[in-house]
Chains A and B, each alone.
Chain A
């Protein structure tokens, strides 16, 4: 509150009169306020749009890189020819569309999925350290994969044994958390504590299984737990894409309710929000998104944690803009990480999960130190 003259009856009456007066939408002051707000909205959307442009450019750069040189602009032409059904060179079409594009698409989808999950987790749990794995999803998925790799126990056979196991076991921690929430009330603290408890339980199971695993199985397991998009195929992209897209759309739909939730439980309830059910619904939604992407890519850390924080610096904490910008930034971040992983020690490759940790950590520290306004 500014230091002004307070206490005088006239002063208070004038203040009250401002509130009770009719809104003059045509006044210069009102127009200036609306224009200023609309400008700030555009600024927030510009950041998201910049991420989309960056995603397209990095995709082009990523496609050009490989055993066969393809020009930066040429690759977009090849994709356009493929989309319009006028393929001129079958070999180039195969290299771009079938070999190089699936991993880029997987990186974009996975990055976007992990980032919105991080954004929702942090808002719902009111915890800056929450990420998609705080609910124990990683340990559940990890145990499912460990079971399939070390003992060959899987819910389905064949090529998808690890994927299906990881997906199903990733959802178990959430089921436990929701049950605890029903019994004890779905407060953020209860949810985080239940998630941590489940994480330790599953990790201990995984450790026991690893004790007697053979070296080949351990190597395969290590590869899965670090996370990669290199093995993703076109056949898997639609499933990942539809789930992540649905996640983004629904989260965006609930973004104003996420803002209400951020004011505190009592305040949110008083504003008409069914706080416990909204929290459960959102956690269930992001669990499905994360379980789907990690079951195909393995555990890729840091994207979910860092993306919302970076975006808060540029667009603020209003979830109506934060959700979509986090999704776009997460997509670019993972795409860049994958590109770096492919090029930095070529011809060998670094898995994307290793790169995200390498670039994500220092980047996060830099942003924390650099930012002027405190966003958390």
Chain B
């Protein structure tokens, strides 16, 4: 599995968000994309599965230009968990997750579909909510259900847009570490946007640090990317970075004006 982005520009209408993006991601593992608000992290992942068409450059998935691929072909390789899910006509949690299996078979739900959904709910501690309407859950639970829906698609690449933004600290750790474990044990590539640098540092195999205006500052292991200099330069935040269990940990100091 491989995502290869070359000299890519992207934006919305006439507003340019990303410029000159070069990024190569390969093999199983967890990649965390970090960077300040508005830097283009969501824009970047939306270009990976053709939710957004770049204005320049190329995006290749497993060696094929996504421009040449149909949505169905991309969906067979990449699953995507958006930052928010619609819930106008809410289904029970079980059925909401089951939608993720829609591309796996015909009109009828198979026994395999049912078992995979049951497992996904169990993995994410959602079993007791299986019959609850989706719109009666908290924002954090919405996100976890959306992650379960992403998991049951069983693709080789899973992209998550801020999957932990509404979760408490314990569940942020749980979800991020679970994504790492699944990536490693299942042999898939998981790409997620994160704002919690310490948690990203704990579990990411690879960190992509983005900076304004819409550029990639550095890509690599957490120890190389999450440094006091980079944090100051990209976030405008003074901090001290110490080592804990072989990983960098940020101790915040003060925000610069």
Contacts and interface: CB of A to CB of B under 8 A. Distances in A.
Interface stretch (B56-64, B113-121, B246-254): B113-121
A2 B128 contact: yes
Interface string B119-156: 11011111111000101100011001010010101000
Interface residues of A, number: 54
Given A269-B51, A270-B49, A33 B89 contact: no
A320 B50 CA distance: 28
A257 B106 CA distance: 11
Contact of A376 (B73, B75, B90, B119): B90
Contacts of B135: 374
B46 A316 contact: no
B55 to A, nearest CB: 17
A4 B125 contact: yes
Interface stretch (B2-10, B77-85, B206-214, B226-234): B77-85
Nearest to B182: A16
B86 A19 contact: no
Nearest to B100: A271
B181 interface: yes
Interface in A335-376: 373-376
Interface size class of B (residues with CB under 8 A): 35 or more
A19 B71 contact: no
A6 interface: yes
Contacts of B242: none
Given A1-B141, A126-B86, A316-B95, A16 B109 contact: no
Among B72, B82, B129, find the residue whose CB has the most chain A CB atoms closer than 10 A: B82
Interface stretch (B14-22, B33-41, B170-178, B216-224): B170-178
Best-surrounded residue of B71, B107, B116 (most CB of chain A within 10 A): B71
B178 A15 contact: yes
B84 A317 contact: no
A30 B182 contact: no
B257 interface: no
Interface string B91-117: 110111001101100010101101110
A318 B95 contact: yes
A33 B186 contact: no
B243 interface: no
B88 interface: yes
A20 B185 contact: yes
Nearest to B83: A266
B23 interface: no
Contact of B92 (A33, A264, A316): A316
Contacts of A15: 122-125, 178, 181
B80 A270 contact: yes
B92 A16 contact: no
30 contacts: A1-B125, A1-B141, A1-B144, A7-B170, A9-B177, A12-B181, A16-B178, A19-B119, A19-B123, A19-B186, A20-B186, A33-B118, A34-B115, A126-B86, A126-B88, A257-B102, A262-B89, A262-B99, A263-B96, A263-B99, A266-B80, A267-B80, A270-B49, A270-B51, A270-B78, A271-B75, A272-B76, A317-B91, A375-B89, A376-B88
Interface of A: 1-2, 4, 6-7, 9, 11-13, 15-20, 23, 25, 29-30, 33-34, 37, 41, 122-123, 126-128, 253, 255-257, 259-260, 262-264, 266-267, 269-274, 312, 316-318, 320, 373-376
